[in-house]
Structure 1
């Protein structure tokens, strides 16, 4: 899938105009190529997939490349949730297809592999779909920006809220790869810090169809809360099958630690009602998010955007602004530094800044899935319980000293 966008008539050109032209009139246009690497056909296709390509295209249009004397091309590929395939695509893109930046990449195992290739090739990695908080901790990179959410934010948002409501004993059903392990680790730390206990955990292979044995173990643990450290199709399957086992009716609580708008749509409000979850974006927050969602849905068969789609849009848009400021797309670390030096009044995420570890910091939202009687129609699914301020939503930078080399270096320079 390829899209080249040189000139459109965007509604938001003035809002998103970069402060400097990338090239002077009369010179050759600056060519930029962005690869959207996502799950196009598997269990994460609805949260990213084709919608992430659409979001990237919308960002390019709103940036208006022609006004910056630039040409921007979007390409895409399916990583099939396999790190070897994802890293091979990334290497080919950088080596032979002149890709400058890679966006999205749901699946933390794939993202960690792509991050290593991107750093080696001095490209840019705009992470929206992956969640592992190690991407800005011990695996941080000068070539990456982690835009949307991470396991620390999810653990402290959803996990923290449930613990405060009295859910002190937990059992985890965990996706058996980097993302699930990180989400279980970070949520378990929140539970223990609040005086709770983790009674056990069971690891389920990615894309599991039958969760019955795992749910029976969770049910048998007698834990107050069963934490679902999974996402996408795995979350949908585990919630549906938990209902068949009568787990909630039996007095245990399900905690969906990463639940997307599309998951609720697939489950239906009758099954999903009452779930508490944490999200970085919801289409019905304000006029700007509603306008974005309407444009997106018009291109995506009426489907509304997830927070991953919103993250792809915003990270690509601000990446292009940074390229325009630096005048080059070939030095990825330099472009990422330009992204870190700016502050954004982002119309999807609000007040946003990118820290030295590559973590984009913005508000998060604790929401509850509505009852069927409360919903006005398709995708009207969340009611906001609390806005988590940016300075509380993500792991404090001070906690990453000694693990993220970028933070160590910055601290040493500050002390000189």
Structure 2
């Protein structure tokens, strides 16, 4: 019997065929991994582009786009660039939830940053929290940090009303008097601001004469002004925002309320001051998270302002615009620090982040992910302005301090 020779199983030829087959089998997997690594990091950005807060929202978009551009120009993360997906939430909680859900389910965003208003951010947070997608809010709110609405994926880049109102009260009440009237936008932002002033005012002996509430987006305040005047307050606090702040400041000035009454605002917006003009806002003081004029003393402010000027024909960034910049950069830096793009690992890295993007040192308090930061006290200028952007004098800066926040225990958290 003539048997044919049989090649050993481990012959060189056999090994070559096996290796070649293995390479062909793994090639699609390697290709998919490479493609996934190169896919853009998508950040959803729902803000109210229409409605009474549109000027502030548009500035947030400009600053957020600048942050993405800078990050991409610096190389992104291992070949991955960032992409900003802007959506109009129309200042409506239902619309905000719908747009956020679309961003997550349809557009497959990795993270969400945005929500200029306290009226929408809780609905956005409810959607992102349920789907375990990181959300960094850039709107003032106390509630979003409370345990009932909070999660590992919930972060708050903006100041909150307790911190903002407290800083303004500590500055203004001892100087201008203790009889206070509040003109309050009737939604979460206004209510929380009043609460912040009243809590700070207790230690200062302040007395609330009235809390007069108006609808969000009101155009006419004439029905409220005679009552305010009759109460003869030392201080009138305008606890409203955006176009509401502009309209109420103008009408209070025209009515003559500044004679004998100091008008203050918890958040004195750059955009509102520019829109309302020097006469309407003359002498009004308030708090803000940022003013571009801080660039003379804070290097990161100068760097941010110069980049914004270059990108937008010499314009300077607003306070709420800067929140868009910081909210995006913080998340993208956490991507690098975590060496990952999944929300859980990025959230863990973000809660450990210490940063200075535009105003000085900041960090997220571990128990509730609130950004601990300074509050700037400013007063509107009507004389001696260097140019059209020189609208505020910086009166004081209350440094970043966890002690000025509500305690973790009060908010339902265990201390970190």
Comparing 293-302 with 236-245, which one deviates more in the overlay?
Answer: 293-302
State the 1:303 CA deviation.
4.0
What aligned pairs does 1:3-402 form with structure 2 within 5 A after superposition?
28-49=37-58, 51-64=59-72, 65-66=75-76, 68-128=78-138, 130-138=139-147, 139-249=149-259, 251-286=260-295, 287-300=299-312, 302-330=314-342, 332-344=343-355, 346-356=356-366, 357-372=368-383, 374-391=384-401, 394-396=404-406, 399-402=407-410
State the 1:308 CA deviation.
1.5
TM-score by length of 2: 0.85
Higher relative contact order (CA 8 A, sep 6+): 1
What whole-Å deviation, never above 9, does each CA across 1:150-201 have from its counterpart, x for those lacking one? 1012211212211111420111111111111111111122223311111111
Find the structure with the greater CA-based Rg. 2
Counterparts in 2 of 1:381 and 1:125: CA distance versus 1, 3 Å? same
Q: CA RMSD in A?
A: 2.2
Counterparts in 2 of 1:199 and 1:394: CA distance versus 1, 3 Å? same
SS in 2 for 1:201: strand
State the 1:67 CA deviation.
5.4
Counterpart of 2:29?
A: none
Are the aligned partners of 2:66 and 2:311 in contact in 1 as well (CA < 8 Å)?
Answer: no
SS in 1 for 2:51: coil
Comparing 79-88 with 36-45, which one deviates more in the overlay?
Answer: 36-45
Are the aligned partners of 1:191 and 1:198 in contact in 2 as well (CA < 8 Å)?
Answer: no
Are the aligned partners of 1:38 and 1:79 in contact in 2 as well (CA < 8 Å)?
Answer: yes
- Alignment partners' CA distance in 2, 1:221 and 1:185: 20
* Structure 2 residues not aligned, in runs of 5+: 1-32
Counterparts in 2 of 1:350 and 1:30: CA distance versus 1, 3 Å? farther
State the 1:296 CA deviation.
2.2
* Number of positions where the alignment pairs a residue of Structure 1 with one of Structure 2: 378
Comparing 39-48 with 235-244, which one deviates more in the overlay?
Answer: 39-48
Counterparts in 2 of 1:305 and 1:394: CA distance versus 1, 3 Å? farther
- Alignment partners' CA distance in 1, 2:363 and 2:134: 17
What whole-Å deviation, never above 9, does each CA across 1:287-311 have from its counterpart, x for those lacking one? 5423422432454465421122111
State the 1:92 CA deviation.
1.5
- Alignment partners' CA distance in 2, 1:121 and 1:360: 23
What whole-Å deviation, never above 9, does each CA across 1:52-105 have from its counterpart, x for those lacking one? 222122112222344532122111111111101101111111122101222221
SS in 2 for 1:257: strand
Counterparts in 2 of 1:81 and 1:113: CA distance versus 1, 3 Å? same
TM-score by length of 1: 0.85
Are the aligned partners of 1:361 and 1:394 in contact in 2 as well (CA < 8 Å)?
Answer: no
State the 1:133 CA deviation.
1.6
State the 1:149 CA deviation.
1.3
- Alignment partners' CA distance in 1, 2:134 and 2:283: 39
